[in-house]
Amino acid sequence: MEESKMKIAVASDDKETISHHFGRAMGFTVFDIKDGKIAGKEYRENIGKSSGQCHSCNHGRMIENIKDCASVISHGMGMGIYQDLEANKIKAVVTDEDIAEKAVEKYLQGSLTNRTDRLH
């Protein structure tokens, strides 16, 4: 039987805490998941991030950077990137959790609340 593997990206500026906005995050802490547990992590720069101007994010570049991930977690994001992620088969989760690893653990347990009311 093949082992269960996947990756989960978390928007983060410092590799540990969750960024307040997906499009402005400095990068993504990408967690390797094996058999339902965290098996490792790496940090990837957000190559399509916003310059601070409205609509300055490059959704295609951001998605390309995390296309190998099953899910992405952030504190907030716009409806446009949320829909683009979902269209690319990446589950987008908006959370109140502050610590990246804790959020991933809750996600794996099925207890991480998706705050879609925070989409804008």
When pLDDT is averaged across residues 60-77 and rounded to a whole number, the result is 95
Measure the CA–CA gap between 24 and 105, rounded to whole angstroms. Answer: 24
Q: What are phi and psi of 87, to 5 degrees?
A: -65, -25
Query: Does the pLDDT at position 53 exceed 90?
Result: no
Asked if 43 contacts 60 with a C-beta cutoff of 8 angstroms, the reply is: no
pLDDT the model gives residue 1: 32
Measure the CA–CA gap between 72 and 10, rounded to whole angstroms. Answer: 5
When pLDDT is averaged across residues 19-41 and rounded to a whole number, the result is 95
Rg (the chain; Cα; Å): 13
CATH topology of domain 5-118: Nucleotidyltransferase; domain 5 (3.30.420)
Chain centroid offset of residue 6 CA = 13
When pLDDT is averaged across residues 64-90 and rounded to a whole number, the result is 96
pTM of the model: 0.91
Sign of torsion, CA 66 35 110 113? negative
Asked if 117 contacts 96 with a C-beta cutoff of 8 angstroms, the reply is: no
